[in-house]
């Protein structure tokens, strides 16, 4: 299991029971499952802006094909996820979206 899977499962498992159960069923169809999962979160080493832009663009391309993109974004917004690409949006983009819907 990759670090991205672990991070998402930990994030999900600490949520409410209903959210956790719904999420566990959904993640099996997530487009980010597989060898490219690491691109959804910043690396543990310093990342250049250019490398970050490329990584995030690639992650967003994968999200665009994901059958659960709306669920993923909804969960990220509910949980106020602070890191990574969720539902096709970066953390900054999710903050802007959340602020605009308040
Ligand atoms: S929307 Fe993106 S981050 Fe969310 S489950 Fe799908 S591929 Fe993964």
Place of tokens 């999900």: 12
Task: Out of 30, 76, 79, give the residue to mutate to test ligand 1, the one with the largest number of ligand atoms within 8 Å of its CB.
Answer: 30
- Per-residue pLDDT reduced to its tens digit, 6-25: 455 544 444 443 444 455 57
Q: Could you give the 3-state DSSP secondary structure of residue 102?
A: coil
Average pLDDT over residues 42-69: 96
The Cα–Cα gap between 72 and 64 comes to 12
Q: What is the pLDDT of residue 77?
A: 95
Between residues 76 and 3, the one the model is more confident about: 76
Probe ligand 1: pick from 85, 91, 93, 94, max atoms within 8 Å of CB?
Answer: 85
Contacting residues for 37 by C-beta, under 8 A, at least 6 apart? 2, 3, 4, 5
Q: Distance between CA atoms of 29 and 21, rounded to whole angstroms? A: 14
* Residue 26 CA, ligand 1 centroid: distance in Å: 10
Instruction: Measure Cα distances from 37 to 2, 22, 48, 59, 97 in Å.
Output: 7, 21, 19, 8, 24
């Amino acid at each position: 299991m990759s670090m991205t899977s672990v991070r998402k499962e930990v994030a999900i498992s600490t949520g409410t029971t209903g959210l956790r159960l719904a999420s566990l069923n959904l993640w099996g169809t997530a487009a980010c499952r597989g060898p490219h999962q690491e691109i959804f979160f910043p690396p543990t080493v310093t990342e250049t802006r250019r490398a970050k832009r490329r990584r995030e663009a690639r992650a967003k391309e994968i999200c665009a094909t994901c059958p659960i993109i709306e669920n993923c974004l909804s969960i990220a917004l509910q949980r106020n996820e602070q890191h990574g690409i969720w539902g096709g949006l970066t953390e900054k983009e999710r903050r802007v979206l959340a602020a605009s819907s308040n």
